Amino acid sequence: MKGDNIMALFETEYLKTVRNDFESIKKLGDRTLARLDFQALNWTPHPDSNSVAVIVKHMRGNMISRWINFLTEDGEKPYRNRDDEFVESYSSADEVVAAWEEGWEAVFNAIGSLTIDDLSKTIFIRGEAHSVLKAVQRQIVHYSNHVGQIVYLGKWLLKEDWESLSIPKGKSQQYLVQKLSER
Protein backbone atom coordinates (compact mmCIF):
# COMPACT_ATOMS: atom_id res chain seq x y z
CA MET A 1 0.00 0.00 0.00
CA LYS A 2 2.91 2.34 0.72
CA GLY A 3 3.96 2.18 -2.95
CA ASP A 4 0.44 3.10 -4.05
CA ASN A 5 0.51 6.17 -1.80
CA ILE A 6 3.83 7.25 -3.23
CA MET A 7 2.53 6.79 -6.78
CA ALA A 8 -0.66 8.75 -6.04
CA LEU A 9 1.44 11.54 -4.50
CA PHE A 10 3.72 11.56 -7.55
CA GLU A 11 0.79 11.72 -9.96
CA THR A 12 -0.90 14.52 -8.02
CA GLU A 13 2.34 16.50 -7.83
CA TYR A 14 2.99 15.82 -11.49
CA LEU A 15 -0.34 17.33 -12.53
CA LYS A 16 0.34 20.42 -10.36
CA THR A 17 3.85 20.71 -11.79
CA VAL A 18 2.60 20.44 -15.37
CA ARG A 19 0.07 23.22 -14.79
CA ASN A 20 2.74 25.40 -13.16
CA ASP A 21 5.17 24.72 -16.02
CA PHE A 22 2.58 25.69 -18.63
CA GLU A 23 1.68 28.81 -16.61
CA SER A 24 5.38 29.81 -16.44
CA ILE A 25 5.85 29.27 -20.16
CA LYS A 26 2.72 31.30 -20.95
CA LYS A 27 3.77 34.11 -18.59
CA LEU A 28 7.08 34.57 -20.43
CA GLY A 29 5.16 34.83 -23.69
CA ASP A 30 2.53 37.15 -22.16
CA ARG A 31 5.17 39.53 -20.86
CA THR A 32 6.93 39.62 -24.22
CA LEU A 33 3.78 40.03 -26.33
CA ALA A 34 2.67 42.92 -24.13
CA ARG A 35 5.85 44.82 -25.01
CA LEU A 36 5.62 44.50 -28.80
CA ASP A 37 3.56 46.60 -31.17
CA PHE A 38 1.98 45.16 -34.31
CA GLN A 39 4.95 46.03 -36.49
CA ALA A 40 7.33 44.29 -34.09
CA LEU A 41 5.04 41.25 -33.85
CA ASN A 42 5.35 40.83 -37.64
CA TRP A 43 9.08 41.51 -38.02
CA THR A 44 11.35 38.71 -39.24
CA PRO A 45 15.14 38.68 -39.21
CA HIS A 46 15.20 36.78 -42.51
CA PRO A 47 12.59 35.97 -45.20
CA ASP A 48 12.63 32.28 -44.21
CA SER A 49 12.24 33.07 -40.51
CA ASN A 50 9.06 33.28 -38.50
CA SER A 51 7.78 36.44 -36.87
CA VAL A 52 6.37 36.42 -33.36
CA ALA A 53 2.89 36.58 -34.90
CA VAL A 54 3.56 33.49 -37.03
CA ILE A 55 4.99 31.60 -34.05
CA VAL A 56 1.83 32.46 -32.12
CA LYS A 57 -0.32 31.32 -35.05
CA HIS A 58 1.53 28.01 -35.20
CA MET A 59 1.34 27.51 -31.43
CA ARG A 60 -2.39 28.23 -31.45
CA GLY A 61 -2.94 25.73 -34.26
CA ASN A 62 -0.93 23.11 -32.44
CA MET A 63 -2.69 23.78 -29.13
CA ILE A 64 -6.17 23.58 -30.60
CA SER A 65 -5.30 20.39 -32.48
CA ARG A 66 -3.51 18.67 -29.61
CA TRP A 67 -5.65 19.63 -26.63
CA ILE A 68 -9.26 19.72 -27.86
CA ASN A 69 -10.62 16.22 -27.09
CA PHE A 70 -7.12 15.33 -25.88
CA LEU A 71 -8.01 11.89 -24.55
CA THR A 72 -10.46 10.83 -27.26
CA GLU A 73 -9.20 12.07 -30.66
CA ASP A 74 -5.90 12.02 -32.49
CA GLY A 75 -3.89 15.13 -31.64
CA GLU A 76 -3.49 15.95 -35.32
CA LYS A 77 -7.03 16.95 -36.25
CA PRO A 78 -8.19 16.60 -39.87
CA TYR A 79 -9.26 20.27 -39.93
CA ARG A 80 -5.79 21.55 -39.01
CA ASN A 81 -3.90 23.25 -41.84
CA ARG A 82 -0.38 23.33 -40.42
CA ASP A 83 1.15 24.94 -43.52
CA ASP A 84 -1.25 27.88 -43.20
CA GLU A 85 0.06 28.48 -39.67
CA PHE A 86 3.28 29.80 -41.20
CA VAL A 87 1.59 32.50 -43.31
CA GLU A 88 1.09 36.00 -41.89
CA SER A 89 -2.60 36.76 -41.53
CA TYR A 90 -3.34 38.80 -38.41
CA SER A 91 -4.49 42.37 -38.91
CA SER A 92 -3.81 43.69 -35.42
CA ALA A 93 -1.88 43.04 -32.23
CA ASP A 94 -5.21 42.31 -30.55
CA GLU A 95 -5.80 39.43 -32.99
CA VAL A 96 -2.37 37.99 -32.18
CA VAL A 97 -3.08 38.14 -28.45
CA ALA A 98 -6.59 36.67 -28.92
CA ALA A 99 -5.10 33.71 -30.83
CA TRP A 100 -2.48 33.28 -28.10
CA GLU A 101 -5.17 33.24 -25.41
CA GLU A 102 -7.42 30.87 -27.37
CA GLY A 103 -4.61 28.34 -27.71
CA TRP A 104 -3.69 28.52 -24.04
CA GLU A 105 -7.34 28.19 -23.03
CA ALA A 106 -7.43 24.82 -24.83
CA VAL A 107 -4.26 23.73 -23.00
CA PHE A 108 -5.47 24.72 -19.55
CA ASN A 109 -8.95 23.27 -20.07
CA ALA A 110 -7.45 19.91 -21.02
CA ILE A 111 -4.83 19.91 -18.27
CA GLY A 112 -7.44 20.96 -15.72
CA SER A 113 -9.66 18.03 -16.63
CA LEU A 114 -6.94 15.37 -16.37
CA THR A 115 -7.16 12.93 -13.48
CA ILE A 116 -4.58 10.68 -11.95
CA ASP A 117 -6.15 7.75 -13.82
CA ASP A 118 -5.70 9.56 -17.14
CA LEU A 119 -1.92 9.60 -16.79
CA SER A 120 -1.65 5.90 -17.65
CA LYS A 121 -3.85 6.18 -20.74
CA THR A 122 -2.65 6.09 -24.34
CA ILE A 123 -3.44 8.86 -26.80
CA PHE A 124 -2.48 9.29 -30.44
CA ILE A 125 -0.70 12.07 -32.32
CA ARG A 126 -0.54 11.59 -36.10
CA GLY A 127 -1.55 7.98 -35.51
CA GLU A 128 1.42 7.32 -33.21
CA ALA A 129 0.66 6.05 -29.70
CA HIS A 130 1.89 8.11 -26.74
CA SER A 131 1.31 7.79 -23.04
CA VAL A 132 -0.45 10.84 -21.66
CA LEU A 133 2.74 11.58 -19.70
CA LYS A 134 4.83 11.51 -22.89
CA ALA A 135 2.33 13.63 -24.84
CA VAL A 136 2.21 16.26 -22.09
CA GLN A 137 6.01 16.40 -21.83
CA ARG A 138 6.26 16.65 -25.62
CA GLN A 139 4.06 19.77 -25.55
CA ILE A 140 5.94 21.37 -22.65
CA VAL A 141 9.16 21.05 -24.65
CA HIS A 142 7.51 22.26 -27.88
CA TYR A 143 5.95 25.35 -26.29
CA SER A 144 9.10 26.16 -24.33
CA ASN A 145 11.09 26.18 -27.56
CA HIS A 146 8.66 28.51 -29.30
CA VAL A 147 8.29 30.86 -26.34
CA GLY A 148 12.08 31.01 -26.19
CA GLN A 149 12.00 32.16 -29.82
CA ILE A 150 9.36 34.78 -28.98
CA VAL A 151 11.40 36.10 -26.04
CA TYR A 152 14.58 36.19 -28.10
CA LEU A 153 12.88 38.12 -30.91
CA GLY A 154 11.37 40.50 -28.36
CA LYS A 155 14.75 41.11 -26.79
CA TRP A 156 16.33 41.62 -30.22
CA LEU A 157 13.64 44.09 -31.27
CA LEU A 158 13.54 46.13 -28.07
CA LYS A 159 17.32 46.17 -27.61
CA GLU A 160 18.18 48.60 -24.77
CA ASP A 161 14.48 49.02 -23.93
CA TRP A 162 14.19 45.33 -23.06
CA GLU A 163 13.49 44.62 -19.40
CA SER A 164 14.67 41.24 -18.17
CA LEU A 165 12.01 38.62 -17.54
CA SER A 166 14.16 36.99 -14.88
CA ILE A 167 17.44 38.02 -13.23
CA PRO A 168 19.08 40.86 -15.21
CA LYS A 169 22.70 40.48 -16.29
CA GLY A 170 25.09 41.40 -13.52
CA LYS A 171 22.41 41.16 -10.82
CA SER A 172 22.75 37.48 -9.83
CA GLN A 173 24.52 38.13 -6.54
CA GLN A 174 22.11 40.90 -5.58
CA TYR A 175 19.18 38.59 -6.38
CA LEU A 176 20.66 35.76 -4.31
CA VAL A 177 21.24 38.02 -1.29
CA GLN A 178 17.66 39.31 -1.54
CA LYS A 179 16.19 35.80 -1.74
CA LEU A 180 18.28 34.61 1.22
CA SER A 181 17.18 37.58 3.30
CA GLU A 182 13.52 36.78 2.55
CA ARG A 183 13.81 33.35 4.20
State the pTM of this model: 0.88
Using CA atoms, how far apart are residues 11 and 17, in angstroms rounded to an integer?
10
Q: Within 13 Å and on the Cβ side, how many CA atoms surround 117?
A: 0
**Average pLDDT, stretch 148-152?**
97
pLDDT tens profile 37-60: 999 999 999 989 999 999 999 999
What's the pLDDT score for residue 166?
A: 78
CB 123 within 8 A of CB 130: yes
Considering the domain 2-181 in this protein, what is its CATH number?
1.20.120.450
Instruction: Please determine, for residue 62, whether its predicted confidence score (pLDDT) is greater than 90.
Output: yes
Share of the chain above pLDDT 70, in %: 92
pLDDT digits (tens, 9 = 90+) for 32-41: 999 999 999 9
| Count of residues making up the chain | 183
Task: State yes or no: pLDDT of 29 exceeds 80.
Answer: yes
